[in-house]
């Protein structure tokens, strides 16, 4: 069954074969796969609607490879493709750690933890979920709001995790759950029961997965979902040409700066540990 596509007028999800939106009665034109020369990023390699998500995934994989290399260094030089990343490495790269955050003031771990992963299966699962959800959220909220929702969800997820457990925790799943929450907020705000129900199924699936699979940080998932739903309910829909869009662009820029500053602190910690 083909995936539903989004009406460019009312942004409701409709049958991919429809030429007229059943919600707003506007013409929607040809499906994307029938349009000539669709807009692409990176010289046609990546769909433009996936570009921001692709950048996030690229950062995740770059950090994962770096943590694999350092883990091999700590374990005597061997690299195992399917081995896990050791706790010392994750800590040095910025994993969530309650004591470090509260006692040492390393607040930036609430941000860096969302870009780290503990193993191959962990990063592949999150990549699958993010690649599927990211473009949909960006379509509904635009790039600026998407970045704010993504980072806010990750932070609220790891805040919940920090108060629930003192264990190390990493992963993009808190942000992914936030994207689900944001889409449910979008469905609620626009009155689309289709969107609400579709993402409710996503939420239930991830909740069941978290209950059945050991070592899953359910507090981060729930915190991320709540954060995404809350922010998604507040940010509204894009108003192109309105001065408010400049505010959201500034907020997105601040979010990117916050990530950069957080990883600068992580780099300082890592450098002291390795070279001092």
CA–CA–CA angle 172, 221, 148 (5° rounding): 55
pLDDT over 60 at 8, yes or no: no
In a domain, 62, yes or no: yes
CA distance 101 to 225: 22
List the single range of 9-13, 125-129, 180-184 with lowest mean pLDDT: 9-13
Task: Tell me the pLDDT band of 72, cut-offs 50, 70 and 90.
Answer: confident
30 vs 105 pLDDT, higher one: 105
Residue 48 in tokens: 């433009």
pLDDT of residue 13: 74
Mean pLDDT for the stretch of residues 238-254: 88
Residue located via tokens 């503990």? 118
Phi, psi of 135 (to 5 degrees): -65, -35
pLDDT of residue 274: 86
Task: Tell me the pLDDT band of 223, cut-offs 50, 70 and 90.
Answer: very high
Which CATH number does the domain housing residue 159 bear? 1.20.1540.10
Q: Tell me the residue range of the domain where 263 lies.
A: 53-275
- Whole-number average pLDDT of the chain: 84
In a domain, 149, yes or no: yes
Residues 125/213, Cβ–Cβ less than 8 Å: no
Task: Tell me the pLDDT band of 82, cut-offs 50, 70 and 90.
Answer: low
Share of the chain above pLDDT 90, in %: 50
**Is 31 strand, coil or helix?**
coil
Mean pLDDT for the stretch of residues 161-172: 93
In a domain, 19, yes or no: no
In a domain, 84, yes or no: yes
Task: Tell me the pLDDT band of 124, cut-offs 50, 70 and 90.
Answer: very high
pLDDT over 60 at 50, yes or no: yes
pLDDT of residue 49: 53
pLDDT of residue 26: 63
For the chain, the distance separating the N- and C-terminal CA atoms, rounded to the nearest angstrom, is: 57
pLDDT over 60 at 36, yes or no: no
Note the pLDDT tens digit of each residue in 147-159. Answer: 999 999 999 999 9
Phi, psi of 39 (to 5 degrees): -65, 130
In a domain, 90, yes or no: yes
pLDDT of residue 232: 93
pLDDT of residue 23: 76
Question: What does the DSSP 8-state code read for residue 2?
Answer: P
In a domain, 152, yes or no: yes
Share of the chain above pLDDT 70, in %: 83
Say if strands 13-14 and 40-41 run parallel, antiparallel, or are unpaired.
unpaired
Q: Number of folded domains in the chain?
A: 1
In a domain, 26, yes or no: no
In a domain, 86, yes or no: yes
Pick left, alpha or beta for residue 117 (phi over 0 → left; psi -120 to 50 → alpha; otherwise beta): beta
Residues annotated catalytic, as ranges: 173, 221
């Amino acid at each position: 069954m083909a995936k539903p596509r989004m009406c460019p007028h009312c942004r409701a999800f409709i049958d991919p074969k429809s030429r007229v939106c059943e919600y707003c009665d506007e013409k929607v034109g040809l499906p994307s796969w029938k349009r000539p020369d669709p807009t692409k990023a990176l010289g046609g390699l990546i769909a433009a609607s996936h570009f921001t998500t692709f950048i996030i995934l690229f950062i995740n994989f770059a950090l994962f490879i770096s943590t694999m290399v350092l883990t091999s260094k700590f374990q005597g030089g061997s690299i195992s493709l399917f081995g896990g990343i050791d706790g010392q490495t994750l800590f040095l790269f910025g994993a969530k750690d309650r004591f470090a955050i509260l006692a040492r003031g390393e607040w930036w771990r609430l941000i860096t933890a969302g870009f780290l992963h503990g193993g191959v299966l962990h990063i592949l699962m999150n990549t699958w979920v993010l690649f599927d959800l990211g473009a949909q959220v960006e379509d509904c909220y635009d790039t600026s709001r998407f970045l704010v929702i993504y980072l806010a969800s990750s932070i609220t997820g790891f805040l919940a995790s920090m108060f629930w457990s003192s264990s190390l925790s990493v992963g993009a799943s808190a942000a992914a759950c936030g994207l689900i929450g944001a889409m449910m907020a979008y469905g609620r705000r626009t009155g689309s029961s289709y969107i609400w129900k579709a993402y409710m199924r996503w939420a239930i699936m991830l909740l069941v997965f978290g209950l059945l699979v050991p070592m899953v940080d359910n507090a981060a998932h729930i915190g991320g979902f709540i954060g995404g739903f809350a922010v998604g309910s507040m940010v509204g829909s894009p108003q192109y040409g309105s001065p408010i869009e400049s505010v959201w662009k500034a907020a997105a820029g601040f979010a990117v700066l916050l990530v950069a500053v957080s990883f600068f602190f992580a780099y300082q910690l890592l450098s002291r540990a390795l070279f001092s």
